[in-house]
Amino acid sequence: MNISTDFNLITKLTAKKMKVIVFAAALLVCSLNAVAQNADSFYSEVAYSSIKIKDVSSSSVGAVKPAIARFTIGGVMVDNLALEGFVAQSLKSDSVYVDGLNDTVTVKAYYGIALRPFVNLSDKFELYGRLGSAQVKYEDYYGKFGNSHLLYGIGLGYKPKENLKFVADYTQLSTYGETKSSLITVGMRLGF
């Protein structure tokens, strides 16, 4: 074992790591102005969401995929962080075969509030996340029921014109009881 050779190898590896860290930090600092979006801007959004509600119990009966129209109003409160509220209207029910019955599930209400951190990847594309709370009320053959959920998700926006973005996102709702729910959404956001 040669201590001098080992020391030189460790020094070279550390120097390479330091160069990568310095380059990444410089790139981040230089890009901050390019990705910042200013506070005090407001927007509305209309979107179509397909909700997948899956039975995760031991007797799993499958999943249903009702659809909703989601309406959102939001505002950028601080640079690159928006606060938004949303409500939805049922568009389509879906059915699953349970205990010899065709059980139709309808989303009767979907509303909530969320934080939406975002960053511009370029002049045209935006990457965003969503973290918040949603109240979801369903109706099926067995009656009406509702749950509060934590929601979190990720999305991408495309800006073809000033104050117009096309958006697509995936949102996961926290598991409640024996059901797990997620949404795939496409829509349009208008700034004002």
Q: Where are the domains of the chain?
A: 1-35, 36-191
Q: What is the pLDDT of residue 122?
A: 93
Q: What is the pLDDT of residue 58?
A: 75
Q: What is the dihedral of CA 141, 146, 150, 153, to 10 degrees?
A: 40
Q: What is the pLDDT of residue 29?
A: 43
Query: Is residue 21 very low, low, confident or very high in pLDDT (cuts 50, 70, 90)?
Result: low
The pLDDT tens digits of the residues spanning 22-47 come to 455 444 444 444 444 556 689 999 99
Over residues 70-81, the mean pLDDT reads 93
Contacts 24+ apart (CB under 8 A), 101-106: 101/141, 103/140, 103/141, 103/142, 104/140, 104/141, 105/53, 105/64, 105/66, 105/138, 105/139, 105/140, 106/66, 106/138, 106/139, 106/140
What CA–CA distance (Å, rounded) separates 59 from 8?
A: 62
Q: What is the pLDDT of residue 39?
A: 65
Residue 1 has pLDDT above 60, yes or no: no
Query: Is residue 55 very low, low, confident or very high in pLDDT (cuts 50, 70, 90)?
Result: confident
The pLDDT tens digits of the residues spanning 146-190 come to 889 999 999 999 999 988 999 999 999 988 777 889 999 999 999
The pLDDT tens digits of the residues spanning 6-15 come to 444 444 445 4
Q: Which two tokens stand for residue 72?
A: 């959102």
Q: What is the pLDDT of residue 167?
A: 97
Residue 51 has pLDDT above 70, yes or no: yes
What CA–CA distance (Å, rounded) separates 65 from 101?
A: 17
Q: What is the DSSP string of 74-128?
A: EEEEETTEEEEEEEEEEEE-EEEEETTEEEEEEEEEEEEEEEEEEEESSSSEEEE
Query: Is residue 79 very low, low, confident or very high in pLDDT (cuts 50, 70, 90)?
Result: confident
Provide the whole-model pTM.
0.74
CATH of 36-191, one of 1.10.340.30, 3.40.50.300, 2.40.160.20, 2.60.40.10: 2.40.160.20
Query: Is residue 5 very low, low, confident or very high in pLDDT (cuts 50, 70, 90)?
Result: very low
Q: What is the pLDDT of residue 8?
A: 47
What CA–CA distance (Å, rounded) separates 183 from 161?
A: 27
The pLDDT tens digits of the residues spanning 95-131 come to 888 777 788 889 999 999 999 999 999 999 999 999 9
- How many other β-carbons are positioned within 10 Å of the β-carbon of residue 114? 21
Looking at residue 149, the DSSP 8-state letter turns out to be: E
